[in-house]
Amino acid sequence: MKKFGIYQTSSQEPRDMVEQASNDMEYEVSYRSGGGIAIAALAIASSAPVDGEYKKSDYLKAAEDAFAFLGKNNLKMVNDGKENIVDDYCALTAATELFRATHNPAYKEAADRRAKSLMGRLISNGTYQNYWRADDGTRPFFHASDAGFPVVSLLYYSEIADPDAQREVLDSVRKSLSFELSITKDVANPFGY
């Protein structure tokens, strides 16, 4: 297998890939680099009223197999050997959709763990209150296309969460959005976000 990477860990690696793959079967992917959302999409497809290009059962098997694989191997697939906020919200989305598709309590437990980890990334530092922490330090999370994904994944999860977890999710979402509104007014921002 070859790691497909947009992140390089050494200046000696090729600019666009860690190692050139000779066919589509040689790529590896982590939760953060598309695996989590692909699993969620497959789980959703498995719940469609009709089969697609493949049978619904094939979509579900692929989703479950991929989730089990990444559950054991995700750290081997990431560039730095550590999970970050993107892994959390992508794996949370995958686990939530797998639970919806199967009602298997193992996926609910996985979603509960990821939601707890994600909510644990909402921190304060100095005058900045309740921002998302990207890594295991205090680096703020900023992503041009995924800025709202932590909130969206938590809101989807809240639909399957137990009542206490729902309250915690909604409190975290409120805090996060309050921070976003306050920081938007705090500095000049021509884009309004």
Q: Give per-residue pLDDT as tens, 150-165.
A: 999 999 999 999 999 9
Q: Of 95, 118, 117, which Cα lies nearest the Cα of 107?
A: 95
pLDDT: which is higher, 35 or 186: 35
Q: Give per-residue pLDDT as tens, 12-57.
A: 544 554 566 666 666 779 999 999 999 999 999 999 999 999 999 9
CATH number belonging to domain 2-186:
1.50.10.10
Residue 8 banded pLDDT, cuts 50, 70, 90: very low
Residue 89 banded pLDDT, cuts 50, 70, 90: very high
User: Would you say residue 4 has pLDDT above 90?
Assistant: no
pLDDT: which is higher, 117 or 138: 117
Q: Of 144, 152, 145, 143, which Cα lies nearest the Cα of 118?
A: 152
Does residue 87 contact residue 30 with C-beta atoms inside 8 Å? yes
Residue 119 contacts by C-beta under 8 Å, 6 or more apart in sequence? 154, 168, 169, 172
* Extents of the domains making up the chain: 2-186
Neighbours of 36 (CB within 10 A): 29
| pTM for this predicted structure | 0.86
* Residue reference for tokens 């906020």: 85
User: Would you say residue 2 has pLDDT above 70?
Assistant: no
Give, in order, the Cα–Cα distances in Å from 79 to each of 36, 74, 94.
16, 10, 21
Query: Can you tell me the distance from the alpha carbon of 85 to that of 118, in angstroms, rounded to the nearest whole number?
Result: 7
| Lowest mean pLDDT, pick from 59-63, 77-81, 104-108 | 77-81
